[in-house]
Amino acid sequence: MSKRSRLHTVLCELLGCEYPIMLAGMGGTTRVTTPELVAAVSNAGGFGVLGAISRDPENIRQCVGQIRQLTDRPFGIDIAVPASLAESGPTWEATERRIASEYPRHVAFVQELIVKFGLPTVQPKPGLIFGSRAGDQVKAVLEERVPLLAVALGDPTWVVPLAHEVGTRVLGMAGSVPNALRQKQAGVDIIVAQGSEAGGHTGRISTFPLLPAVVDAVAPTPVVAAGGIADGRGLVAALALGAVGAWVGSAFLAAEESGVPPAHWEQIAGGTAEDFTLSRAYTGKPSRGYRNVVKEAWESSALGPLPMPLQSVLMKPLVDAAIEAGRWDLVLNPAGQVAGSIKERRPARQIFEQMVAEAEKVLDAHSHPLTGDQRH
Ligand SMILES: Cc1cc2nc3c(=O)[nH]c(=O)nc-3n(C[C@H](O)[C@H](O)[C@H](O)COP(=O)(O)O)c2cc1C
């Protein structure tokens, strides 16, 4: 592959990578963006991002060390931040106590599900409430001089000046134009416009209508497209709609270096686009992933899921028990609609290089008159 491809955009200049393809940060329970996957994407000429939403600051530092042993290329870390440090909020234990006293019917419902699915009773391990250790997570990322801090959820206003002081760029995620304008106002360097077909937490607007609207609204801030991009055709389409690159999640679930649990990979490999549904069952915010009986149980219950971050604390006993019992079918398997077309596990470099080669082929085909066979 040539060093300076026609795919080179301003994103490559900003981030110091060869191709405008970012590995989307994928954190949460299954932590699929391993240090190995991040390094593999950066080594292939893209920009790897570690999903660290559920990683504590000590673990973030460890991962940064591991990534740096595997690559000397730039990479990023993705976390969630509250609107201000003062809002960093209650501990896991305090949240458990609050749920027990304010939502006894919800607690009883989860206990009934545990019994219904024949799961063992386990003492849930305290987790990391989204945003609750954001100050220390940000400190770890900035002290380690990680080149990019991606903010998945929340308000990065207080983070931007701290990051810029040490030369770290900030990327913010948006699922709507008002959201993107808030990110711009916060001063982020790059905005990801993420369509609702994406895996993980997502908004209500699909990538095709969302992307050009965000590009126009926040210009000249560079916009990266996310949601449904899994090959070179998708990458070129995103560039045609005004994006400077793609933030690719689901396609890299197939990478051999990804931490996707084998049972989740089986679901993805056997799934169709319609199997990847939205639900608030696990976190309280709409998140797209493989359909399962836990989501169905919440949908048919009169009790609505609790808001974020309460729902993930409420569900932890069930999730921990399911993991302990090896029942991965009961654990959220976040993946986007495009996961319905992903069938083959391969090294990340192969996935990456195929995406680049396809995109260059599409550009070649369209730089000639539209005659003859235009299939790619
Ligand atoms: C398994 C999985 C976990 C995810 N976890 C996070 C996360 O922790 N933080 C985040 O910003 N986005 C997360 N996302 C969303 C991705 O960053 C990205 O926006 C999305 O995957 C893009 O759409 P696509 O899946 O169609 O490629 C996750 C997505 C998946 C599939």
Q: Does residue 300 have a pLDDT over 80?
A: yes
Q: Does residue 231 have a pLDDT over 90?
A: yes
Q: Is the CB of 202 under 6 A from ligand 1?
A: no
Q: pLDDT of 232-280, one tens digit each?
A: 999 999 999 999 999 999 999 999 999 999 999 999 999 999 999 999 9
Question: Across all residues in the chain, what is the average pLDDT?
Answer: 93
CA 282 – CA 100 distance, rounded (Å): 17
Residues of the chain within CATH 3.20.20.70 domain(s) are 10-88+129-271+338-366
| Cα 372 to averaged position of ligand 1 atoms, centre (Å) | 38
| Cα 26 to averaged position of ligand 1 atoms, centre (Å) | 5
Ligand 1 atom with least separation from CA of 52: 8
CA 256 – CA 350 distance, rounded (Å): 10
Report the pLDDT value the prediction gives residue 132, as an integer from 0 to 100: 75
Averaged pLDDT for residues 276-289:
96
pTM of the predicted model as reported, rounded to 2 decimal places: 0.95
Strands 276-279 and 48-51: what pairing? Answer: unpaired
Contact of 42 with 48, CB cutoff 8 Å: yes
| Cα 27 to averaged position of ligand 1 atoms, centre (Å) | 8
Contact of 3 with 18, CB cutoff 8 Å: yes
Contact of 76 with 150, CB cutoff 8 Å: yes
Q: Is the CB of 175 under 6 A from ligand 1?
A: no
Q: Is the CB of 248 under 6 A from ligand 1?
A: yes
Q: Does residue 129 have a pLDDT over 80?
A: no
Report the pLDDT value the prediction gives residue 86, as an integer from 0 to 100: 54
HSE value, Cβ hemisphere, 13 Å, CA-based, for 117: 25
- Minimum CA distance residue for ligand 1 atom 10: 152
Q: Does residue 127 have a pLDDT over 90?
A: no
Q: Is the CB of 32 under 6 A from ligand 1?
A: yes
| Cα 100 to averaged position of ligand 1 atoms, centre (Å) | 31
Q: Does residue 8 have a pLDDT over 70?
A: yes
Range in 303-307, 326-330, 364-368 the model is least confident about = 364-368
CA 147 – CA 16 distance, rounded (Å): 9
Please state which CATH class domain 10-88+129-271+338-366 belongs to: alpha beta
Report the pLDDT value the prediction gives residue 368, as an integer from 0 to 100: 64
Q: Does residue 125 have a pLDDT over 70?
A: yes
Instruction: Say which amino acid occupies 309.
Output: P
Ligand 1 atom with least separation from CA of 30: 1
| Cα 104 to averaged position of ligand 1 atoms, centre (Å) | 32
CA 376 – CA 363 distance, rounded (Å): 11
Report the pLDDT value the prediction gives residue 376, as an integer from 0 to 100: 43
Q: pLDDT of 167-205, one tens digit each?
A: 999 999 999 999 999 999 999 999 999 999 999 999 999
Q: Does residue 369 have a pLDDT over 70?
A: no
CA 226 – CA 206 distance, rounded (Å): 10
Report the pLDDT value the prediction gives residue 2, as an integer from 0 to 100: 47
